[in-house]
Structure 1
Amino acid sequence: MSVNRLYNASSLIEKWKVESTTFPSVPAVSTGSVTSDVVDSAIYARSDPRFLAAIEPGIRPLVLAVIEHLDCITYSSCEGHRTADGHVQVGQHVDIFAADLNAQENLAQRLDRACAGVRGTPTASLRIVRGAVSLEDKCAFSISIEIGAAPGAGWEAFEADAMRIQRQLIDALFAG
């Protein structure tokens, strides 16, 4: 089991529950960034005006769907990165934990049901990794939704297949 540490979690959880009244503008397309383009990350509550803009466009639809349909808090996500020669260096992920820590098992069951019908492709596959996140004075169950690349996968094929997998999972979340 993996364990992530989330510092100042109580502040994030409290701010997460506040509904946003502002909608920041967001870039429309993925940057398709290579690893050298990666910058420092930050965690924003969904009410923060910077929240949407901080989510990479290639993973944003899945992040927003899991927040809406699973009542969870996202604390890490990545649209994936390509190597300079056009292959996949790292796939996509969204890391979550239950917004209501008393409903953690329900979150896992709902996600398992949604994932049951998602089919992999020649270049990408869905994987759910259970772990824990350290929240200052307690530990919470966490889930990493990962869309990984097949060995040697080219970036363009992976990116298209990863979007297909995201769409399948989002459709399943809406149906459930």
Structure 2
Amino acid sequence: MKIDFNPFPKLETERLFLRKLKEEEDMYDVFNMRKDPSMHEYTDTRPDESLEDSIDYIRRMNQGVDENKWIVWGLEDKRSGRIIGTISLWNIYPDEEKAELGFGIVPEFRGMGLMTEGLRGVVEYSFKEADFKKLEAFTEESNAKSISVLQRCGFVEDRRVIDQSPFDGKEYNMVVFKRTHPGLVD
């Protein structure tokens, strides 16, 4: 399996454009998203404290995309033109043809089915275009909304692990969900 995210794979769903983050165009939307503590509630990440933090995030994510280490799509709401979340494929294991899925959406756009719509597009891309055979997603066991989105997108619980934050030692009880390429028997 050869990982190549160049040119960047732009995806479109009924209500979203999934595209590469753009520093000048998206920095304020990304800052408003990443500074919100609720975006970090179930993860060991911390809110951005300044616009520079968010610009640095965009640069690091795009550098990783350019180097084929991972891919991060900005979720652009077609109606508002705003970046309202992200979906990523990272922790990529080419030998196992497997990647980890990460995702988040700002609170005001939750509960509208947008993340489910975006994830379905990424899953389809992952299996049909990128040739992944397996996707995994780690979510904290108390994150009912994330679990529900994953289940609606065909993911099933695989195992549970405890993850410890490198910042403060907090433990997270993670549920690992998986989805296998539809052409394979798991």
TM-score > 0.5, shorter chain as reference: no
Higher relative contact order (CA 8 A, sep 6+): 1
TM-score category by the smaller chain? 0.3 to 0.5
Larger strand proportion of the pair: 2
